[in-house]
Structure 1
């Protein structure tokens, strides 16, 4: 039996190990592809830990939810999703119907680093809410990798005004230099933070929320209280929970405002309707990118616990080809 090298999670709570596993075999609907680059995203770690809602709970398991592959004809493709086996191996099985072509001149590591963080905001604005060019967008959690690229995504898709909110003042100032129209610092002073939200984001049309928890409660109260037209629709999209898994919402806020709360993540949308080929093209062109930090597959145990710098994403390179 032919074998390949892969990362393998053998126990929840421990990093994957560099292991030899049986090579995949093509079947009636899937083909074998060579893996060129796989991002270690927060959701990748979450699924591999068994704590993410998409985790099967089965062990052992190859981690990795997406990646860039080379198909048998030599073409490059982006593959993603939580179904089937993981992507952090030298070769994997892919469904040709869901493989998204990647331009031949694109850097696989950059595409692998960027697609997942860019996808969260792209999918939300393209497929979760009826966003239109010219509308305004608030990104809460804009100083993280996904949040910072969400600011660029909103602008790329035609937002007329973009507000960036986060804790890291230096990163917020960089986002302002890169095109955010206004910034809101999530400071320890709740009154000052609420006033900043009211001043900068009272009239936004869409909120992309990566934090949830107490900061969202504060922001929601401040924004709803400051809106001049309470009948104007506000789409609040919950994407991440970095500040906590729940919020307390006063029902009067829902009754007195045209507030619509929705979630955007695996299971809430058909990705085939989200224009992912256009996103791949935008990433490949350099318009929406995260800086890759490439590491070889054999260093997966050390790479797994690395804390990426702002704007960076660790990418595993399974082969030397």
Structure 2
């Protein structure tokens, strides 16, 4: 893979996607998000370029987009990226992973007709299980080796209420442990 855009790179999953992409061969990673302070942190994790959601013309010539956002921001982003591409005939694969900004994105049909873009999902069934299994050992080894900056905090299940209340003040992923 040559170039990748992570839309929603300031969230925990997006931060991890930047790190995994760089570790496993992406030549150029663009991290996009809303919070400039958190974008600076993502740059330190390996993003080659960071930009806000209003600056996506800087990410126009990527090959793949990992979209953790969806909703209205994705509708705008898709149009911005497609119209800013130097060559709209170059394939772009847009992978929908999350929907933190909303479950629907009103994408203008003209945007889809005017560029070579493929929208794909990332849920169960969109990728064969054997493909997951083929990649898992290498990914698990990298995690075990401490190759990634993982912001996770284990919390006993009995403390779920306290963890839920405190989560608003933290950027860590809460992992409930029985």
The higher relative CO (CA closer than 8 Å, separation ≥ 6) is in: 1
Give the 3-state SS of the residue equivalent to 2:31 in structure 1: strand
Cα deviations by residue, 1:224-281 (Å, 9 ceiling, x for unpaired): 1111111110000000001111111222222221100011022322233121122111
Deviation at 1:305, TM superposition (A): 4.9
- Name the Cα RMSD after superposition: 1.7
- Equivalent position of 1:66 in the other structure: none
State the secondary structure of the residue aligned to 1:307: helix
Partner Cα distance (2:120, 2:19) in 1:
22
Partners of 2:70 and 2:98 within 8 A in 1: yes
> Which one of 128, 131, 142 corresponds to residue 9 of structure 2?
142
| Residue 299 of structure 1, aligned match among 155, 159, 172 | 159
Are 1:234 and 2:92 counterparts?
Answer: yes
Give SS of 2:62's match: coil
Confirm whether residue 315 of structure 1 aligns to residue 159 of structure 2: no
Contact 2:18 2:45 (C-alpha < 8 Å) held by counterparts: no
Contact 1:137-1:161 within 8 A present in 2 as well? yes
Q: What secondary structure is seen at the aligned counterpart in 2 of 1:235? A: strand
Which aligned pairs between 1:172-321 and structure 2 lie closer than 5 A? Answer: 172-186=39-53, 193=54, 196-198=55-57, 200-274=58-132, 275-307=135-167, 309-310=170-171, 312-318=172-178
- Once the two structures are TM-superposed, the CA of residue 291 in structure 1 deviates from its matched residue by 2.7
SS at match of 2:95: strand
Contact 2:5-2:29 within 8 A present in 1 as well: yes
Runs of 4+ in 1 over 4 A off after TM superposition: none
What displacement does 1:138 show? Answer: 0.3
Whose Rg is larger? 1
Q: CA deviation at 1:306?
A: 4.3
1:236 aligned counterpart, secondary structure = strand
Number of corresponding residues: 175
The alpha-carbon distance between structure 1 residues 247 and 315, as it changes in their structure 2 partners (threshold 3 A), is closer
Contact kept? 1:283, 1:289, Cα under 8 Å: no
- Unaligned runs of 5+ residues in structure 2 are none
**Separation in 1, partners of 2:96, 2:176:** 29
Q: 1:161 aligns with which of 13, 28, 31?
A: 28
Q: Please report the TM-score for the alignment, with normalisation by the length of structure 2.
A: 0.90
Distance 1:179 1:240 in 2: 22
